[in-house]
A and B are shown apart, each in its own frame.
Chain A
C-alpha cells in the first residue's frame, strides 16, 4: 500500500508498506494497528471519506472498504472527482 504524502507524518515518513488483508477495509485496519491515526484520516462513518477514492492496481473502485484485493495488489488513495465530469 502506498501511503499518501499527507499521511506520512503518521508513518514516520514511510511511503509504502506491505500489509496483509483480503479487503481494503482489512488493510486499513492492519495499517491502523501499525500506524495509529491513519484510519481516521481515511475512513468516516464506516466508509472511505468523501473526496477520497481508492484505486486498486490503477482502477478506482466503487466498492470502497469492501473491495477485494489480491496478494500482489497495489493500493492508492487519490482524490475523488466531485461533481461529475
Chain B
C-alpha cells in the first residue's frame, strides 16, 4: 500500500486544524482555567539537596487569614513500596508519591515538602514563608561516579542493586545494572587493527518547554475528581493518580488543555495530587502553577551521565567489536533512561561483538524525566565521537565508513532483536549526495562534522472514534495530546481512507471520559499508533456507510464499492452516491454512524537520522557559531511534510543547545545556580541558521501508510556531530557536553 499508492491527502500540507486558535491566542492552556470559588495553591520546596525532615510546623501559616488548607506528604495515602504498571512503564508507588511531597527525607533542592491553598496566589506565597521545617542537613552527592563509590552518601536506606531479577545484599545508590552482550568482545578487539577507548560526560539538561507545569483540581463531595491541566497523557495521569490518591480510576476525569511543549517532561505527576487533596480539604477548586525556577529545580531533567566507549575496527574499516560502560543519573529516585540509551548506543551499526553495561544511579538532583529519545543523545555523543576518531585513524570518510558498517534489515541489535526494514543506509547515502556535504567548507577555524542516531520508537495503545455529520464532514475524537501537529497528521490519515479533504475531518482531543484509552503522546508513537487507530476507525465508517448505500439501493453491501469518497453500485454503472449524499440520509437509513477503533499495533519500525554541521570556532572566546546544518532522516512516510520537517528542525535545535550551552550549574551544596531562562542558555532564532532537512522515505511495513515515528531521533546526532565538527575546526576532541565557550577555550589553550 505504502509503496504503490498515490495519495490524495497524505503528503500534502494543509493548514493545521488548531492553527487559528493558536495564532490568535484563543487556545486554552492549563493556566487559563478559571472557575468560581477558585483557590490558589503554592508549594514550599526544600532548600537543601539532601536532608532528613525532623518536623514541620504549619500552625502560623494556617492562622493566616485567607489560607484555607495546608498539606504535607502525610496527607497522601501511605505509599506502599510496590511496583505499579502504567502500561507504558512501571513505577514504584512509594517513589512516585514521595516525589510529589517528601516523606521523611528530601533528596534534591526543590523537593516539594508542604503545599498551601489560599484565596490568592500572593497569600499562598506569604503562608509558605510562615511554615517552619526543621531539617537535619545531610551531605549531598551530585555526580554519578561519586554516587557509585562505597563512601558516597546514601539516598535511600533500602535501595539495593537489581540485576535482572537478582538483588545485591549491599545498600547502594546503584539501582540497577543491565547488560547486553553479542558475540565475544575480547576476540573482536583482537581482530581489530585500530582500537580506541574514550570517556565522556554530559551535564544535566532540561527539556525547556515554554509553558510551566500546571494543574487545577475539583474534588466533588460525591468523590468524583476532575483535573484540568497540560499533560502529554491524560490517561497516564489518571492511572498514576488513582493509586497515589487511593481512589478508583473511574473516579478521576482528566481534561487536557492545550500544551505549551513537553518533550517527555509532561508525563510524570507533579502538581495533580497536590491540587486534588487541597481541593478535597477545602471543597473548592484549586489551581497550582509552577514558575520557571520550580520547573528547573523540581521537574525532571534528562540525566547527566558518564560513558566509556571502546571500539575496534580493521584497516579496511570494518567494526569488529564495541564495548560501553554507561552510568546515568536518575535523580533522587531510580528510573533513568539507561535501558533506552543502551538500546541505542551501537544500534546504527552491524557489529558482531558487543558488550554494554548500564547502571541506573540515584543522585541528589531532581528525578529525571524523559526528554526526546531519552538516553540516546548521551549515548550517541560517546559512540559517534569514537566512530569519528576511528575514521580519522583509518583515513576513511566518516559517511563512507557508516555505509560500510550500517545496520540494515536483519542486522542483530545489541539488545537482541533484529532490525526490521529500516532506512539508515538511505540516510547516509542521502547525506553523501547532499549539496551540503558536496560543498567544500572554507575559511579560518571552521569544521564539518557528521553523526548518526537511532531511536527505536514505540507503539502502545490508542483509541479513536469518528462521528459522521449530516453534511458529510466528520468529527474525529482522539485522546492523544497534540504537541507537534498530530491533530493534522491523524485527521489526514482518516481523510485519506474516507476520500475527504483534510479540512472535512475535524479532530478534537478529548478527555478521559470521552474517548477510549490512549497512552501518552511520546515515544514518537502518536502519528503511528493513533494514526493507525484513525485508519481503522475510518474503515469502520466506510463499512457502515457502505451498508447505508446498499440500503438506499436495496442491494447487499457486497454489491457496493467505495472509492475516492464515492459509493458505486457494482451492477449499475450510472448509480453513484457521494459520501456526503449518503451522510445526508443517515437518519432515514438506520441512524447515526460512528466508527471506532482501539489498537495496540506492533511493527513500529525504528528511526534513523544522519546530521551534517558546519561551524566556526572563535579562537579568542571559544564561542561556536553554527554556519550550516542539515538533518537527514528516514521518516517512513511523511503524512504532513511540514510538521515532519518541524520535528526534525526542533530536535536538531534542542540538540544544538544541549551541545553548546545548556546545563544545570550546581554549587557544592547541590543548589542549581542558573534556574532561569536568562542563565540557562537555550538557542534562539538569532543564534542559528535555517536547519535544512532531507526527508528520506523508506516506508515502515508495519503501518498501512508506511509511517515511522519522527519526533525523537532528530535530537540524537547533534551533540556528536558538533563535537566532531569542533575537532575539525580546532584539532581538539571535546568529550564533555556542553561544549560551551569556556570549555572550548580551556581545551584549545591546553593543546597549545
Contact = CB atoms under 8 A, between A and B. Distances in A.
Interface of A: 2, 4-7, 15, 40-42, 44, 49-52, 55, 57-62, 74, 76-85
B168 interface: no
Given A60-B459, A84-B520, A85-B88, 16 more contacts: A6-B163, A40-B165, A51-B176, A52-B165, A57-B417, A62-B600, A77-B164, A78-B343, A79-B178, A79-B338, A79-B339, A82-B339, A83-B369, A83-B370, A84-B264, A85-B337
Contacts of B419: 58
A84 B339 contact: no
A85 B526 CA distance: 12
Contacts of A84: 86, 88-89, 232-233, 236, 264, 267-268, 370, 520, 522-523
A79 B164 CA distance: 9
Nearest to B337: A81
Among A42, A49, A76, A85, find the residue whose CB has the most chain B CB atoms closer than 10 A. Answer: A85
Interface string B84-107: 011111110000000000000000
A79 B264 CA distance: 19
Contacts, number: 116
Contacts of A49: 165
A-B interface, 4 closest residue pairs, ranked by CB to CB distance from nearest: A79-B339, A41-B165, A76-B416, A5-B181
Contacts of B163: 6
Interface string B411-422: 000011111100
Interface of B: 83, 85-91, 162-166, 176-181, 232-233, 236, 264, 267-268, 335, 337-340, 342-343, 369-370, 374, 415-420, 458-461, 520, 522-523, 600, 602-604, 712
A60 B460 CA distance: 9
A47 to B, nearest CB: 8
A85 B180 contact: no
A51 B177 CA distance: 12
Given A4-B179, A51-B176, A85-B374, A58 B339 contact: no
Contact of B370 (A6, A58, A85): A85
Contact of B90 (A7, A77, A80): A80
Contacts of A7: 164
Nearest to A44: B165
A62 B339 CA distance: 18
Contacts of A76: 415-417
B87 to A, nearest CB: 7
A85 B523 contact: yes
Contact of A51 (B86, B90, B268, B458): B90
B264 A85 contact: yes
Nearest to A39: B165
Nearest to B180: A5
Nearest to A43: B165
Given A50-B90, A80-B90, A84-B267, A58 B233 contact: no
Contact of A6 (B87, B164, B233, B236): B164
Among B165, B343, B417, find the residue whose CB has the most chain A CB atoms closer than 10 A. Answer: B165
